[in-house]
Amino acid sequence: MIPSSDLRSIASEKLTDAEILLQSRRFDSAVYLCGYCIEIALKYRICKTLNWPGFPSTSKEFEKLKSIRTHDLDVLLSFTGLEPLIKSAHIKEWSTISTWNPEVRYQVAGSVDEFNALKMIKSVKIIMALL
């Protein structure tokens, strides 16, 4: 089990790394890390909402929780208790974030421009503040 306090720290570290990559003009990698940043932050919020001390990390711990063993940000959001708020008051930011999936790691470098990388980081910051 990953302690929920560790999840929060890890998410913040990933965001910092994404900002450094943005400054280094590594836009594709910045967006890639943003996705994991928000995924981890969502898992933190699930723990908080369900009063769990941590998030499952082994196959055994996930046996009865297969629906949250995912990288699908919309699925994870649905378990946070914040989906109505985020999808109404922050739909613009969520729409930007929800385009992410782990398969972006296979995109050719240069697939993401500076504008879209910055847009992703700004959106992640707004949503993370709610989580």
pTM: 0.93
Rounded to whole angstroms, the Cα distance separating 24 from 96 reads 22
**pLDDT confidence tier of residue 4, bands split at 50, 70 and 90:** very high
19 Cβ neighbours under 8 A, 6+ residues apart: 30, 121
Neighbours of 12 (CB within 10 A): 15
Domain edges within the chain: 2-130
For 2-130, CATH number? 1.20.120.330
Rounded to whole angstroms, the Cα distance separating 131 from 44 reads 8
With H, G, I as helix, E, B as strand and everything else as coil, classify residue 125.
Answer: helix
pLDDT per residue over 18-76, tens digit each? 999 999 999 999 999 999 999 999 999 999 999 999 998 888 888 888 778 889 999 99
State the pLDDT at residue 114. Answer: 97
